[in-house]
Amino acid sequence: MNFLSFLFCSALLLLKLISTGDGMDIIGGKKAKPHSRPYMALLKEICGGTLIKPNWVLTAAHCTLKIKNSVILGAHNWGKNETEQQRLFVLRAVRHPDYENCTKSNDIQLVQLNRPAKMTASVSVFSLLPSEKDLKHGTKCSTAGWGVTKANSNTLSSVLREANLTIVERAKCHKIYGKIKPKEVITKNMLCAGPLKRRKDDACTGDSGGPLICENKLQGIVSFGKGCGNPKIPGVYTRLTTEYHNWIKKTIGGAY
């Protein structure tokens, strides 16, 4: 990377940090029914994730994790010592080898736990099902997390919240972000999703790495955005393409 590219990337990264914080979580939405999303994971109290095998969590690559960082499974209110909760630790964090922090390209990471989680009514895996098709504009989706509930707040939600979203056409999303970020930032490996009409539901600071679920499949990972709860600017998610599914299988050592 030459010096000019370094300066450009640094400036872009600063813009993202200013506009979104370290990650994203739920603005608007509603409290989730306790333990209704048993695949949800809370990583180091800064990011979300999805349990895809008893000892593997899928999250975003920009979530900085270290060995022995905490991982909470089975939580509704993470601040309480709920009997349903299982507290484990990071054994290994594997970022996608082509992840680019500047553009958030390939923003996907696998986290191996120090031991397999015990499968219960409150802790279970979300089975990954490859989907070749690109989601259509208007497809209904949902996301969930424990992050901030107000755009200018630094306080995480103690309870799991969820929001309903709809897919925004990639070309439209690309045009929107092209006005505030460099061209080609919205790639075919990304999905955009925004709030339903007349609502401000969104992902925001505090819970990147959480799931985007559409048509009962895990279709994406919360990645980045510009501001929170702005119905004119959708959030951006890593799209779980066939290539990513193959990388996941290779990394975890077999089928899921």
Alpha-carbon dihedral sign for residues 4, 171, 237, 164: positive
User: For this structure, is 76 an active site residue?
Assistant: no
- Helix, strand, coil share (%) of the chain residues, nearest 5: 15, 30, 55
* Bridge partner residues of 57 (DSSP): 51, 111
What's the residue count for the chain?
Answer: 256
Given the residues 105, 122, 157, 208, the one annotated as active site: 208
Q: For residues 90 and 157, what is the distance between their CA atoms, to the nearest angstrom?
A: 23
Label residue 143 exposed, middle or buried (CB < 10 Å: 0-12, 13-18, 19+). Answer: buried
Which of the following is catalytic: 107, 201, 202, 207?
A: 107
Quickly list DSSP for 194-231. EEPTT---B--TT-TT-EEEETTEEEEEEEE-SSSS-T
Catalytic site residue 223?
Answer: no
Active site residue 98: no
d(CA 89, CA 218): 24
Q: CA angle 162-49-70, nearest 5°?
A: 115
Q: How far is CA 242 from CA 153, 239, 247, 249, in A?
A: 37, 10, 9, 11
Catalytic residue among 35, 62, 76, 96: 62
- Cite the active site residues: 62, 107, 208
